[in-house]
């Protein structure tokens, strides 16, 4: 009886240790993927000193748990010659009864123009990043969609003119790398 209890106690300790190890691997994998999502499982395993299977399992669990939501590329639109317009819209709202800010945020997020949506502290409650084909289209989106919600008190729209740094990556172009010549 003692041997069985001792065995199960060791197994519980081992299982707990495995969970801690897996949590450490998941955190390390996540940190590396956030920096460069193109890293293969082989490369991640070599960097972390663990097996490829452990890395694949960690990534699969992170995806299943909803921690990793999407893999994406950061594009320098100036070099890609993308003429789309982005704007930051600050929105002041009255929280909805029973669901607070989440209800109005879900309604706004449902629009295809909305790229990012954040609950903020400060003068405005929501920060909405939208992308559209033109200044007029963004203006129409704000006036015909966002401002028409019953809970929206006010909006302030700021058009993004140039991006210098996105998600930690500098947006350099050829002109910014050249030295300026002064007479």
Spell out the alpha helix ranges (H) of the chain: 2-35, 41-48, 52-64, 77-80, 100-109, 135-144, 174-177
- Residue pLDDT, tens place only, 122-178: 999 999 999 999 999 999 999 999 999 999 999 999 999 998 998 888 888 655 555
- Quote the pLDDT of residue 131: 94
């Amino acid at each position: 009886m003692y041997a069985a209890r001792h065995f199960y106690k060791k197994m519980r300790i081992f299982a707990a240790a495995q969970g801690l190890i897996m949590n450490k691997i998941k955190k390390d994998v996540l940190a590396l993927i956030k920096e460069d999502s193109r890293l293969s499982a082989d490369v991640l395993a070599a960097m972390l000193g663990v097996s490829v299977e452990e890395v694949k399992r960690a990534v699969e669990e992170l995806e299943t748990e909803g921690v990793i939501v999407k893999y994406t590329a950061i594009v320098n639109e100036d070099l890609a010659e993308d003429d789309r317009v982005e704007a930051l819209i600050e929105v002041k709202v009255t929280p909805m009864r029973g669901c607070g800010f989440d209800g109005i945020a879900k309604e706004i997020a449902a629009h295809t123009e909305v790229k990012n949506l954040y609950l903020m502290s400060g003068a405005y409650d929501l920060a909405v990043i939208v992308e559209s084909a033109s200044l007029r289209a963004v203006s129409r989106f704000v006036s015909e969609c966002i401002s028409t919600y019953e809970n929206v008190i006010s909006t302030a729209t700021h058009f993004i003119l140039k991006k210098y740094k996105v998600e930690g990556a500098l947006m350099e172009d050829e002109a910014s790398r050249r030295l300026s010549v002064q007479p």
